[in-house]
Amino acid sequence: MPGYGALIKTTRGGAIINMSSSHAAVGLPELFAYSVSKGGLSTLTRNLAGALTADRIRVNGINPGWVATERELEVRAANGQSHEWLVEKGKTLPLGRLQTGEDAAAVAVFLASEYASQITGQIIQVDGGKEVATMFDDRSLDDDRDSHSDSRSKE
């Protein structure tokens, strides 16, 4: 792979971990450019993983969710939203809190370790379950579910 020749010749194996965002798949309208760039980083991660497998270099990505950073607290404060507001919003997430930098860091440490020696080309969501919860948030199926549960209870 162009540009990596010297690195690959001096090292055998390794791990590259790209930090992306849960906005990579779809983001808020006001974060359009940010979301597009993070989507591109996810594509780069998968393609680079394929390109570097022969050199035993693993490439993975991490998509953190809503992280309670100092900057996030500043932005919220500027919008009149207190730290307590942020904590309460976090409680509405599937696993009950906003993510911390340590949550994503723990995944990065794992991905860099030998325990992840067979993992490459993956994008790991660290979002407190938000992505999978929204996949099943289709309330249009509720009537169908109710009719199935009624028929089972009669059997």
What total of structural domains would you count in the chain?
A: 1
Report pLDDT digits (tens) over 33-71: 999 999 999 999 999 999 999 999 999 999 999 898 898
Determine, yes or no, domain membership for 97: yes
Which residues are catalytic, by number?
34
Q: Which CATH number is 69's domain given? A: 3.40.50.720
Please state, as a whole number, how many other Cβ atoms lie within 10 Å of the Cβ of residue 64: 23
Does 152 map to a domain? no
Give every CB contact of residue 43 below 8 A, 6+ residues apart in sequence.
none
Give ∠ CA 20-48-115 in degrees, rounded to 5.
75
Tell whether 153 is covered by a domain: no
Stated pTM of the model: 0.78
Q: Do residues 121 and 50 lie in contact, with contact meaning Cβ atoms separated by under 8 Å?
A: yes
How far from the centroid of its chain's Cα atoms is residue 40's Cα?
Answer: 14
Q: Is residue 81, in this structure, part of any structural domain at all?
A: yes
Q: What is the pLDDT of residue 145?
A: 44
Tokens for 95, please give them.
Answer: 């696993």
Q: Is 142 helix (H, G, I), strand (E, B) or coil?
A: helix
User: Is 77 within a domain?
Assistant: yes
Query: Is residue 149 included in any domain, yes or no?
Result: no
Alpha helices in the chain (DSSP H): 5-10, 32-52, 70-78, 83-91, 101-112, 130-135, 142-154
Position 7 pLDDT exceeds 80: no
Q: Which domain holds residue 25?
A: 5-129
Residue 120 inside a domain? The answer is yes
